[in-house]
Structure 1
Amino acid sequence: MTTYVDRQTTLADQVTLSGIGVHSGKPASISLVPAEAGVGIVFTRTDQDSTIEVPALWSKVSATALCTVLGDPSNEGVATVEHLMAALFGMGVDNLVVEIDGPEMPVMDGSSSAFVDAIEQIGLKKLDRGRRYLKVRKPVRVDNGTAWCELHPYNGTRFDITIDFDTPLIGRQQYAADITPDVFREDLSRARTFGYVKDVEQLWKMGFALGSSLENSVAIAEDKVLNPEGTRWPDEFARHKALDAIGDLALAGLPILGLYRSYKGGHKMNHAILVKLFEDPSAFELVESPGFRKVGQVDKGGLAAAAAFGPDVS
């Protein structure tokens, strides 16, 4: 009898993508480089004199105001990682070095679509080590006014995201699904970031969102969508919030076996739930295929929480 082993993966070859940074408005390019088993997802800036690697971990998050930022973008860090991280999580990529030529990821069309297309074009390579998972053992919850988020034990990986905006154009929307590569590709990967024109105009004055346009964002003004093509789904707003949540929770460092629910959430709360989870070693365990056997605990000392701050507006 042959035992099926769910093995770790990387890309079958290197691939490069180019675009602009949504906040800087400047050209940005990344190369996705295959990595060995156990490496995880690591970012490295190629525009720096010395090579400094920043692992894609919740403990490296330094800001969540406008996007998710790892490390110090002026030095070794990188901003707007959530859309790539969502694609890697959703498509089952475990190990990769992301070489980036500046402080910000290319925004592409404001979704994960270009990253998914690149992954599918290159293909995945299975490695000689079983995949490890982070299994939620008991409920964990974070509240922030009327907003909340929580993790629950679940036999699989499920995201249940509810948003509630004052504008009737969006209102209350919910997206919930078990996340598989097919589901991520078909239902979530093309969901774009969105925002109010009045908010973007204010950000422009502050020197942010300089690269934001109708080519990479869904723009809302006076309760109507300004993009000529409209939305890609009636609930594209909730789908993008689910995409963001998947990318942010990918910073747990391993695929999560559990249910993540949020109401009025965003980057800040997505990060806060990981901080809360890792504060309690009894709330999770590491398991590995086959049969999801227990393999030990996370070294909390190596995953100390970093501060997240600022309002979420993505």
Structure 2
Amino acid sequence: MLVQRTLKRMVSMKGTGLHSGQPVTVQLVPAPAGNGIVFQRTDLEGQPVIPAAYDRVVDTRLCTTLGMGEVRVATIEHLMSALYGVGVDNVQVCVDGPEIPILDGSSQPWIQAILEAGTRRQQRCRRLMVVRRAVTVRDGDAWARFEPSSRFRISARVDYDHPLISRHLFTFDFSELDFVQKIASARTFAFKREVEALRSMGLALGGSLDNAIVVDDFSILNPDGLRFVDEFVRHKVLDAIGDVALAGEKLVGHLVLHRSGHALNNQLLHAVFADARNYRLVSTERQSALPAHGVELPEAQTGLPTAVGA
């Protein structure tokens, strides 16, 4: 039996919004079993809440944004990836601004804070969303597909006309331990020319070499280089986990991505849930523990690798 988990104590993080460039504070507050992940705008009258759900996504340009009415919370994907990655099912995300801070551009700071706080088991079983039929969505030569598998696996391919990125394929069989070691520290990336264009439109005002990999036509501008030789595609896996975590269940299926991004990732969840024949929901109370979701992280393990070639 696999049970839900929440935090042992509150986690507080301060940082800068990627697009606004404004300071923002986030508190991750333990929540009861069955609560799920909920975002709360503490800076607004009434402190409105938005559930972390695929059908609450209102914008996927540059990041994933949740919304209800006029209320928005943007850039949620790295935090969602971290929560899924270490198995936190229930938490209230209290944020005093319109976007989650970018921190170092990866999930690593969230992971470290969560592991330091610790997690605790709750008296309710998890559910698994088991993919039963292959479902594909496309946009030009980019596509995303969920297909049946015995575990949660992600295969991502990037293909850029750039000498440093070019083509990379990365396949990742999900476990909490491997997420921490192989995915969590992969940073977001951008081309210098795109950053300049975004800033001219009043976007990416909080972006810097401290929270993103920036490349020009021939080189990586970050003085310390890459954390992995294939950090670009690993970050695509990180983003995808955060996006599909909005399914609200633990996943069993093979997620295959070809030049996919936030928009296609969200469209794929809509396509899967559009037909009940595509999936089934399974209570872990009646199922043996699957290896992809049975890994408990040691509480003392907070170190994350950054070596190139890992």
Give the structure 2 partner of residue 304 of structure 1: none
Give the structure 1 partner of residue 6 of structure 2: 10
Cα RMSD of the aligned pairs, angstroms, is: 1.2
Aligned match for 2:185, one of 176, 183, 190? 190
Work out whether 1:214 is the aligned partner of 2:209: yes
Within 5 Å, which residues of 2 pair with 1:80-159? 80-159=75-154
In 2: Cα distance, 1:51 partner to 1:20 partner: 21
Work out whether 1:43 is the aligned partner of 2:32: no
Paired letter, 1:20 = T
In 1: Cα distance, 2:94 partner to 2:188 partner: 23
Aligned match for 2:282, one of 278, 287, 292? 287
Work out whether 1:262 is the aligned partner of 2:260: no
Query: What is the deviation of 1:290?
Result: 3.3
Give the structure 2 partner of residue 311 of structure 1: none
Work out whether 1:26 is the aligned partner of 2:43: no
Give the structure 2 partner of residue 237 of structure 1: 232
Asked if structure 1 preserves the Cα contact closer than 8 Å seen for 2:137 and 2:144, the reply is: yes
Give the structure 2 partner of residue 66 of structure 1: 62
Asked if structure 1 preserves the Cα contact closer than 8 Å seen for 2:4 and 2:125, the reply is: yes
In 2: Cα distance, 1:88 partner to 1:194 partner: 21
Work out whether 1:276 is the aligned partner of 2:268: no
Paired letter, 2:87 = G
TM-score (norm 2): 0.91
Query: What is the deviation of 1:76?
Result: 2.6
In 1: Cα distance, 2:284 partner to 2:123 partner: 12
Query: What is the deviation of 1:77?
Result: 1.9
Query: What is the deviation of 1:222?
Result: 1.6
Query: What is the deviation of 1:291?
Result: 4.1
Query: What is the deviation of 1:177?
Result: 1.2
In 2: Cα distance, 1:175 partner to 1:248 partner: 17
Query: What is the deviation of 1:168?
Result: 1.4
Asked if structure 1 preserves the Cα contact closer than 8 Å seen for 2:19 and 2:205, the reply is: yes
| Aligned-residue identity in percent | 43
Give the structure 1 partner of residue 52 of structure 2: 56
Paired letter, 1:33 = V
Give the structure 2 partner of residue 298 of structure 1: none
Cα distance per residue 1:178-224 (max 9 Å; x no partner): 11111110001000000001000000000000000000000000221
Q: Secondary structure at the match of 2:195?
A: helix
Asked if structure 2 preserves the Cα contact closer than 8 Å seen for 1:44 and 1:76, the reply is: no
In 1: Cα distance, 2:20 partner to 2:45 partner: 21
Query: What is the deviation of 1:51?
Result: 2.4
Q: What is the count of residue pairs matched by the alignment?
A: 288
Aligned match for 1:180, one of 175, 178, 197? 175
In 1: Cα distance, 2:192 partner to 2:46 partner: 40
TM-score (norm 1): 0.90
In 1: Cα distance, 2:92 partner to 2:99 partner: 16
Q: Secondary structure at the match of 2:133?
A: coil
In 2: Cα distance, 1:126 partner to 1:38 partner: 12
Change in Cα spacing, 1:84 to 1:67, as seen in structure 2 (3 Å) is: same
Paired letter, 2:222 = N
Asked if structure 1 preserves the Cα contact closer than 8 Å seen for 2:42 and 2:48, the reply is: no
Paired letter, 1:82 = E
In 2: Cα distance, 1:223 partner to 1:234 partner: 16
In 1: Cα distance, 2:274 partner to 2:191 partner: 36
Query: What is the deviation of 1:35?
Result: 0.6
Q: What stretches of structure 2 of length at least 5 have no aligned partner?
A: 289-310
Give the structure 2 partner of residue 301 of structure 1: none
Q: What stretches of structure 1 of length at least 5 have no aligned partner?
A: 294-314
Asked if structure 2 preserves the Cα contact closer than 8 Å seen for 1:72 and 1:78, the reply is: no
Q: Secondary structure at the match of 1:29?
A: strand
Cα distance per residue 1:119-172 (max 9 Å; x no partner): 110111100011111111111111211111100111111111111001011001
Query: What is the deviation of 1:95?
Result: 0.6
